[in-house]
Each structure stands twice: as C-alpha cells, then as structure tokens.
Amino acid sequence: MSTTRFQSEGASDAPASVPRVHVVTFGCQMNKYDSLLLEGRFASRGYVTTPTMDDADVILFNTCSVREHAEERTYSWLGEIKHAKASRPNLVIGVMGCMAQRMEEEVFRRAGHVDLVVGTREFQRLPELVDELRERRANPERFASAERRILATDTGVAVQVDRSEESYGGGRHAYLAVMRGCDLNCTYCIVPATRGRAASRPIEALVEEARWMVAGGAQVLTLLGQTVNSYGTDFPAPKKGQPRFRGRQGRPSLADLLYALADIEGLERIRLVTLHPSYLTLDLAQALAEIPQLDRFLPLPAQSGSDSILKAMKRGYTTDLYRERVRMLRDRVPDVELGSDWIVGFPGETAADFAASLEFCDEMGFAVNYIFKYDPRPTTSSAEGLSDGVSGEVKKARNQALLAQAERVGLRRMSAFVGQDVRAFVERPAERGVQRLFGRTLHGLPISLDGHSDLCGKTVRVRVTETTAYGLSGVRAVH
C-alpha cells in the first residue's frame, strides 16, 4: 500500500537510498516561501522532503531575528537535536534565514553541531553546499576540521528564481516574494541588516512564476515584500525609447505588476503583505479600485499614533501624513479595510504618546492589528543609542490596553457586515466543526460558513450572521 507524505506520521515512503531533507520554518511568510523554494531545489537534485526529522539526512532551520524570542526558539530546537547528531554522524544540520545572516559564525560558537550557516540571499545554493560539505567530510586528510563547516552570507547577490523545471506543490494558496530587503531604516528594526538592500524581481519573471503556480493549482496569491509597495523603486529608470511604467520616472511599480498578474486566467485572489505608508501611491489606490481579484485589504503598519515616537522610530511619516494617504486611498476605494502593526513601549514612549496610539487605532478603524512589545535588537540604532526606557511592567500593561482597544475597533469594523451579504472565497474546511468552511471576504476578513468541502476554491455569497473581533461567520445566501 502506498502512503503519501501527509498520511505517514513517521517517515517518508522513499527508498532508503534516496536522500531526505527536512526544513523547519520560523518567522514570516517570506521564510515560508523561501523554504518551499528550497525544497524544490533539493527535489531537483534527487532529494525527497520528509515530514519528520527522524529519518532526515539534512535538517535545515529557516530562522527569524525580528524579536529575541524568535532566536531563542531556534536555539532551543537546535539544542534538542544535538543528541541526534551524536547517534547519526552523517546528519547535516544547517541554519539559514535572518538569524544566520545576523549571527554568522556566532551560530557555530553557540551550537557546535551546526554544519552550515547560510544567509538570506544565498540559500538557493544549499543543495550544492551540502554536497560540498559531504565531500570535505569524506576527505578529512585534505580539509581541516574548521573547513568541515560552511558559512555563506553574502547579501550582495541577487535572488533569481527559476522553478520551471520543478512541479508546484504549494496548494491553493501560494506566496510569491516580489521584492526582498528594505531601504528604509526604522531605528528598531533588524530586517534591513538581515535581508539587505531592496531588490525587486522583474515583472515578466514574476508573471511566469505566478502562471506556473496557477497551472499547479494555486488560486490565491499573496505577494510578499518587506515593503511590498516599494516594488520597482530599485530598478533603473527607463532610457529614451524604452517602455515607460507607472512608477517614479517611468519605473515599473507594484500597480504595473498587479495589472499584469490580473490577466492570469484562474488566479482568483491577490493579496499584499506588507505595505509601508510612505510608498502608498495614487496608482496603487487606482489599481485597488480597478482590479476585482485584489483583496480590498491593506496591511499598512502605523506602529505608533504619536508624532514624536514616529520621529524617534524614523518611520518617515507623521500621523497627518498617514491620515492624508488613507484619505487618498478611501476616496478611491471607500470600502477598503486596513490592518496595522504596533510597537508599544518604544524607548521614551510616555503615557501621552501611548494614549495617542490608542486614539489613532480608533480613528483609523483598523480591522486587524498585531501588537508587539518593543524589543531592543542588537545593532539597531534604538537599541544602541537610546536607553530601553520603558519598564517591562509598563510595556505589558500597554500591550494589554492596546489589545483591548484593537478588539473594540476590530469588532466595530466587523459588526458593520452583520446582516449583509458578502462575497467570500472559500479556502479550506474549517479546523473545527463538521461541514464548516473557512474563507476570506473580498475585504480580506476571515469568515466561517456552513457548507460542503466541494465549495473550496469557489467564491460564494454569504449572509453574515455573527461576528467576533477576529472574524465573521455566516450562512450561504440564497440568490
């Protein structure tokens, strides 16, 4: 009897001679995209992906550095597999992603059983690097013990992607990194250090990859970038006689990419993660108004509602500027929903600054909010220059207070849909409940509804009956 990767709890069904790789992913959606990309690279070199570490020949950790807790989790996982290395000497253990980029050799010092540390722009080389490592290990007379480890953390290299020879295995919901890196310099943020300078991929290459995903069954595409709406700003301006686009000085912009993707037959929904207020343009608002496949939801992190904190964060906008951009957006797309990230307890944040955040959350009416307690990250200017002035107790209390406010505001936004018919794209069976389905409204809000799983992948009309602060629920509307 054959078993699939998902049915078999213990091990993959590949013959023993086929090498097996297992990737553990922490952090954001870009890491998820990168892990799938890498699994494809390994597959084209003859590997299978195994669902467990127990029978893996290569175990990779795709890591996050955004808060200290994320790094601690990786070290605790690494600690747990130390014994496996002792009993399986041929096992290869690698650390990739943001923490690898940030810590480089320090990973080897803290976890002596790690063989490879590979940064955010070089991870596609991992299959070759694993071969090289094996080669070095097999020839101890030619390679000193220090050379039986590999560090690859150049951030100057462009990430080029060609998956056309592989088969897409990512399911109905696909991620697509359209740009990576960040040219801004928020004083709290480690990302520019871990992900490097902004680098966008050409529109044609992205359309080609999206078509490949759709041909393999994807219907929803989430476009990813650290600041996804800065897409194209790193391209050179077109020369005389070359085609001109909607971006600054004729450069390609996110709006151009969206119009190109909207032509793909079978692509039902397009989502964006994450936008920066400074790059919110009229062209993007127009695209949102005109492209029906695009979710009318924008994650547009405000971070704080206090001008002096925004200045200390070097966010590049004031609350007035933020208001102005949102006004421009809502003029064209009156029903757009917004999401925000918030940092509470930034150094120097007073009770009045914090009260301004509570107020701003309410004023802007954010439907979805993610709240973080400020965490000083090594090498960032807020950690090195400013004291971490707000006590743990205060941070905790502010976190609770903003969460409560976010719940009130979220509930208010969601409640506006109760009694209405909305269109929702059904993604999958719900985790709980028989004949319950999970979907998202065209405004990007989570919705649960009744129905058979054959509705998955379809857009249906739903009568909203109830809501919490975190999502809607309803029944299928009769036409």
Q: Which of 178, 191, 361, 437 binds ligand SF4 (CB under 6 A)?
A: 191
- Interactions with ligand SF4, residue window 89-118 (CB under 6 A): 97-98
- Beta carbon of residue 158, minimum distance to ligand SF4 (angstroms, whole number): 17
- The amino acid that residue 433 corresponds to is G
Does residue 188 touch ligand SAH according to CB under 6 A? yes
Least distance to ligand SAH, CB of residue 152, Å: 22
Candidates 80-88, 187-195, 257-265, 317-325 — which segment interacts with ligand SF4 by CB under 6 A? 187-195
Q: Can residue 305 be called a binding residue for ligand SF4 (CB under 6 A)?
A: no
User: Could you say which residues in the range 236-275 bind ligand SAH, by CB under 6 A?
Assistant: 274
- 133 interacts with, out of ligand SAH, ligand F3S, ligand SF4, none, CB within 5 to 8 A per kind: none
Enumerate the β-bridge partners of residue 439: 426, 447
> Are 281 and 325 contacting, i.e. CB atoms less than 8 angstroms apart?
no
Inter-helix orientation angle 203-215/254-262, to 10°: 30
Residue with Cβ nearer ligand SF4 (38 or 264): 38
The nearest distance, CB 94 to ligand SF4, in angstroms, is 16
Name which of 184 and 386 has its Cβ closer to ligand F3S.
184
* Single-letter amino acid code for the residue at 160: Q
Task: Name which of ligand F3S, ligand SAH, ligand SF4, none residue 276 binds, using a CB cut-off of 5 to 8 Å depending on partner kind.
Answer: ligand F3S
Please, which residue, 288 or 402, has the CB nearer to ligand SAH? 402
The residue (of 377 and 443) whose beta carbon lies closer to ligand SAH is: 377
Residue 160: how many CA atoms within 13 Å on its side-chain side?
4
Block residue for tokens 């000083």: 376
Q: Which of residues 5-34 bind ligand SAH (CB under 6 A)?
A: 28
What 3-state DSSP class applies to 453? Answer: helix
Nearest approach, Cβ of residue 308 and ligand F3S (Å): 18
Distance of CA 158 to the CA centre of its chain: 19
Candidates 303, 369, 467, 473: give the one binding ligand SAH (CB under 6 A).
Answer: 303
Read off the tokens for 248: 């600054």
What CA–CA distance (Å, rounded) separates 52 from 164? 27
Strands 116-118 and 150-152: parallel
Tell whether the torsion through CA atoms of 321, 322, 327 and 328 is positive or negative: positive
66 lines the binding site for ligand SAH (CB under 6 A): yes
Residue 5: CA atoms inside 13 Å, Cβ hemisphere, count? 10
Q: Which residues from 253-292 bind ligand F3S, rule CB under 6 A?
A: 276
Site for ligand SF4 in 26-85 (CB under 6 A): 27-28, 30-31, 64-66
Residue 80: partners with Cβ closer than 8 Å, 6 or more residues away: none
The Cα 44–Cα 27 span in angstroms is: 25
Q: By the 8 A CB rule, do 176 and 208 touch? A: no
Comparing C-alpha atoms, which of 113, 98, 126 is closest to residue 25? 98
Q: Does 369 interact with ligand SAH (rule: CB under 6 A)?
A: no
Q: How many CA atoms lie within 13 A of 332 on its CB side?
A: 18
Which residues in this chain contact ligand SAH in the complex, by CB under 6 A? Answer: 28, 66-67, 188-189, 191, 226, 274, 301, 303, 341, 343, 372, 374-375, 377
List residues near ligand F3S by CB under 6 A: 182, 184, 186, 189, 191-192, 226-227, 276
